[in-house]
Structure 1
Amino acid sequence: MDLGLRGVHVLVTGASGGIGLETIRLYCSKPPAFAALGANVTAHYNSNVAPIKALLDSTPRVITRLQWIQADLSREDDVKRMFASLAKMDYGPVQIVIVNHGYWPPVDVPLAEMSLDQWNSTLSTNLTSSFLVCREYLKELAKTSAEVKDKASIVLIGSTAGKYGEAGHVDYSVTKSAMMYGLTMTLKNEIVKIAPKGRVNCVAPGWVKTPMAESALSDPQVVYRALATTPLKKVASPLDIANQIAVLSSSTVSGHVTGQVLMVEGGMEGRLLNKPEDVV
């Protein structure tokens, strides 16, 4: 199916690994690659561009129209510079932005023991940065033509932690809840003031086999607890998430879909709180 993304400028933040890397692979593939979308892709990274370059080097005949840009998205000046630079580069202004970057602190820390520094750091890295990206995207979008605006779309990446919470990770859970509900639901009403056909949606994965989750998923007990209420009984691949991002970003197939949070979690019904021995 043609998603109508060929030649559309797509910015993917946090594109150095996991979901982000698989998303740029999907968006900028060309025939005969499976699900080739042929978009013009900008891959954002903060400190590690190597996986992005390796992707292009390993499949130069398949991956096309890919550029990359560095920015610390928690810094306002960096985000402003990034969008101003992109508007002047080969692909022109950003039409679709995938807000994928983020950090999950790997150590369990209950709220009662969490430092203010950790709280502030996670909110800045995940939430404030997303606010800055969306703000600068909309400012630049306002300067563009009606043709550019017709493809306007924001896809935020949430998490099951934002719906169900996650003990030991309240800072992360709060950032994802804010993105899934406050930010998505507000922006879908505001983007149309700038781009009448513009849409804002959110994809919220459960556990995904990414480098960030690798350490946790090496523990069989973590895997069991992650899948105990999941009918499909499997951990998602990055491509499972990237496919849904692509569909939601497409105005061709999702042109009347906005303000939605799409849970991509294998049918999860919530968090398993108690082990068998915990219940008398």
Structure 2
Amino acid sequence: MATTSVFDTGLGFEGSHVLVTGSSGAIGSVVVTAFLSTGAHVSAFDIRTPETAVEHVRLRTYQVDITNEASVEEAMEMARATFGVISTCIAAAGVDLSFAPHHSLADMPLQDWQRIMQVNVDGTFLTCRAWLRGIRSFATSQTKNISAVIFGSEAGRFGVPSCAAYAASKAAIQVGLVKSLARDVVSIDARCRVNAVAPGPVDTSQFRKECANDPTALWREAQATVALNKPIAVEAVARACLFLASDNFAGNITGQVLPVDSGKSGILFWLADGRDA
């Protein structure tokens, strides 16, 4: 009688040290919970303190401004002193489209453009740089799940006519940065991988509020050009991060952007009644 070989379906994060930036946000907080559920140690970075404090023996929270070089480096050092080398970096922090200033490019103040770029591009750069320096200095042959997952957006593919700065910032990090960094990191550690997730409209309380204020928002953003005809559950984004960060599941995936958008295939230019969408 033939024996069946064992196929490991575990994510393999037990004992790994995972960094999550933007950890107090609607998505980041669920990502933190997801990694804690796998047995990982988690360092949570955010400029804001969490609305609801979460206590866990494998969790430490730090107030960090990701646009401040010294703040990022100091927090990284404290996190490593607590849980050891940060093997996995989930760069979720950034200016969210819902809270970004919306203007035609013709009317956008330079300071609005610069602020979005500073947080979404410079902040992601500083985070990834500090993480990679830690890999270079402290990773050993026993370190596993050496990977980064950068948060992009569907806006990086389709654009946002009322907030070009947001779309440009997400395109920069989910394409230019990810593609370049994926080739760079292997010179630091041959096991190192870098990918991005690009969520569509996520079913957060803020998105539901926007839909309540604008009866066309749900149809326009998450139904009219979306195969599954619905917004994305926050947990689905967190699961995508688990997948991409896991050596067991995505050990040969690097330099890629994973759309988590319910099958969005295009941007809507006009509403049914002819108004600009």
TM-score between both structures, scaled by the size of structure 1: 0.90
Give 2:28's aligned residue.
20
Residues 191, 198 of structure 1: 8 Å contact kept: yes
- Alpha-carbon distance, 1:212 to partner: 4.5
Give 1:263's aligned residue.
259
| TM-align CA RMSD | 1.5
Give 2:219's aligned residue.
224
State the AA in 2 paired with 1:66.
L
Give 1:43's aligned residue.
44
- 1:79 paired to 2:72: yes
Q: Secondary structure at the match of 2:44?
A: strand
- Alpha-carbon distance, 1:278 to partner: 2.1
- Give 1:98's match in structure 2, choosing from 90, 100, 121: 90
In structure 2, distance between residues paired with 1:167 and 1:180: 19
CA deviation vs aligned residue, 1:48-101 (integer Å, no higher than 9, x gap): 2333x1x43xxxxxx551111111001111111111222212x11211000001
In structure 2, distance between residues paired with 1:87 and 1:232: 41
- Alpha-carbon distance, 1:148 to partner: 5.1
- 1:68 paired to 2:73: no
Q: Secondary structure at the match of 2:137?
A: coil
Give 1:60's aligned residue.
none
Where do 1:244-263 residues align within 5 Å? 244-263=240-259
Relative distance call for 1:203 and 1:130 in structure 2 (3 A) is same
- Alpha-carbon distance, 1:144 to partner: 1.4
Q: Secondary structure at the match of 1:204?
A: strand
Q: Secondary structure at the match of 1:276?
A: coil
- 1:180 paired to 2:174: yes
Percent of aligned pairs sharing the same letter:
31
Give 1:109's aligned residue.
103
Residues 10, 95 of structure 1: 8 Å contact kept: yes
Residues 85, 139 of structure 2: 8 Å contact kept: no
TM-score between both structures, scaled by the size of structure 2: 0.91
Where do 1:142-157 residues align within 5 Å? 142-147=136-141, 149-157=143-151
Relative distance call for 1:64 and 1:236 in structure 2 (3 A) is farther
Relative distance call for 1:107 and 1:253 in structure 2 (3 A) is same
State the AA in 1 paired with 2:160.
E
Residues 184, 201 of structure 1: 8 Å contact kept: yes
- Give 1:130's match in structure 2, choosing from 104, 124, 142: 124
- 1:191 paired to 2:185: yes
State the AA in 1 paired with 2:58.
R
Q: Secondary structure at the match of 1:72?
A: coil
In structure 1, distance between residues paired with 2:16 and 2:137: 17
Q: Secondary structure at the match of 2:258?
A: strand
Count of residue pairs the alignment pairs up: 263
In structure 1, distance between residues paired with 2:183 and 2:207: 34
Relative distance call for 1:113 and 1:148 in structure 2 (3 A) is farther
Give 1:141's aligned residue.
135
Give 2:13's aligned residue.
5
In structure 1, distance between residues paired with 2:143 and 2:135: 7
State the AA in 1 paired with 2:50.
V
In structure 2, distance between residues paired with 1:148 and 1:13: 24
Relative distance call for 1:121 and 1:253 in structure 2 (3 A) is same
Tell me which stretches of 4 or more aligned residues in structure 1 moved more than 6 Å.
Answer: none
State the AA in 2 paired with 1:43.
A
In structure 2, distance between residues paired with 1:69 and 1:215: 29
